[in-house]
Structure 1
Amino acid sequence: MTTTLITGANKGLGFETARRLVAAGHTVYVGSRDPERGRRAAERLGARAVVIDVTDDTSVAAAAKAIEADGGLDVLVNNAGIETRTADGGVAGAAEATADALRPLFETNVFGTVRVTHAFLPLLGRSAAPVVVNVSSGLGSLARVSAPGTPAYAYPGVAYPASKAAVNMITVQYAKAFPRMRINAVEPGYTATDLNGNTGTQTVEQGAEIIVRMARVAPDGPTGGYFDAEGPIPW
Structure 2
Amino acid sequence: MSSLTANDTHVLSALFDPESSPSAGAKISPEAASLPNVSQGELSSLQAQEHAAIVPLNTTSPDRASIDNAIRTLTELIQRYPDYAPAYANRAQALRLRLGKDTTDAANREDVSLIFADLECAISLAAPVSPQDPVSPMQANVLATAYAHRGYQYLKATNAAPQVSTVQLLGAQRDVKELEELASRDFFMAGMYGNKVAQRMAVKTNPYAKMCGAIVKEALRDEIESVKLVNKGIS
TM-score by length of 1: 0.32
Please tell me whether Structure 1 or Structure 2 has the larger radius of gyration of its CA atoms: 2
Bigger share in helix: 2
Structure-2-length-normalised TM-score: 0.32
